[in-house]
Amino acid sequence: MDKSVKNMFKHFTAFTLESNRKFSMLPHVAHVGFLPAKRERVEKTFDSCNFSFILQGTGEYLFRGRRYEVHAPCMLIQWPGEPMSYGADGSWCEMYFIYPEETFAVWKQTGLFTPDDPVRKMYNPAGVIERTLELYHLLQHPPWSGDRIDSLCYDLVLETWLDEQKTIIDSTHIPAIRKRLEESIGRDMDCNELAREFNMSLSSLRRYWRKYHGDETFAEYRNHCFLQQSCRLLAETGLAVKEIAGKMNFADPFYFSRKFTQLAGITPVEYRKKYRR
């Protein structure tokens, strides 16, 4: 995390939320904590189910005689009845959730709680940071909604499972996404449909796109492709403007001309006269 994000974390004293809940669909979180520079080593047998998100730093996790290296960003899991030992090399930035012991069976049933894999890597830290900040800001303004906090904490745990199942796609899919955007330059683009095609939410798709294209939006990329293709066809072929519009999947050639004029600053005919080879 960058410095501005790290400085937003602080420690919250333990609190209960039972008096402000209406639903029981999700496990009820009991405590949440934010530790921007945790130095204390934990050696304990817990009577609760815990998830610790290590957002910055390194360290180790000792469990059942095995040593696991901890490299942020990752999530540590602790559960009832097992002696555990973990800590940072110096300090690390940690956010944690504590659930009552009676939620252990529920967590195991969901498949999100994996005692045999106590250190889980996060491949999409941007999504975790986004939800972490939402949770942080929510906790700044009591009275708190226990249901909302339960939902945000569950989403954060779910994010690591999605990564592990490789639902967050890798860079080999970027060409396919670009192709879909290029194919749609002659008509309206349904970004929600595009996200569903790649098995992501729209927000996840946009975060993934930014990873490889920076601040360039879908619309800006499509406009760039439109100009590149239309300028080449106007300058290098003898196709009529109407034919070029059809070749680029524009049902209305007048819309093609208006869009070209808006983006290029001159009409298609003027561009052809000026740059025709």
As a whole number, the mean pLDDT across the chain is 82
Expressed in angstroms, the distance from the first to the final Cα of the chain is 51
Q: How far is CA 27 from CA 21, 142, 144, 152, 232, in A?
A: 12, 21, 16, 11, 58
SS3 248: coil
Looking at per-residue pLDDT, the higher value among 41 and 157 belongs to: 41
Q: Are residues 187 and 143 in the same domain?
A: no
pLDDT, one tens digit per residue, over 60-110 is 999 888 899 999 988 999 989 989 999 999 999 999 989 989 988 888 887
Tell me which residue range forms the domain holding 7.
Answer: 3-164
Q: Are residues 150 and 65 in the same domain?
A: yes
Q: Are residues 14 and 33 in the same domain?
A: yes
Q: Single out the residue in 127, 144, 164 at which a domain terminates.
A: 164
Share of the chain above pLDDT 90, in %: 34
CATH number at residue 205: 1.10.10.60
Q: How far is CA 1 from CA 45, 126, 147, 243, in A?
A: 30, 9, 28, 51
DSSP class of 69: E
Q: Are residues 242 and 149 in the same domain?
A: no
Q: Are residues 137 and 179 in the same domain?
A: no
In the structure, what pLDDT confidence band is assigned to residue 147 with cuts at 50, 70 and 90? Answer: confident
Q: Single out the residue in 140, 164, 188 at which a domain terminates.
A: 164
pLDDT at 231: 92
pLDDT, one tens digit per residue, over 182-219 is 888 988 888 888 888 887 788 888 888 888 888 889 99
DSSP class of 168: S
Q: Are residues 231 and 194 in the same domain?
A: yes
Q: Single out the residue in 134, 164, 194 at which a domain terminates.
A: 164
HSE of 16, CA atoms in CB hemisphere, 13 A:
3
**What is the DSSP secondary-structure string of 88-127?**
ESS-EEEEEEEEEGGGHHHHHHHT---TT--EEE-S-HHH
Residue 254's contacts (CB-CB under 8 Å, 6 or more residues apart) are none
pLDDT at 202: 83
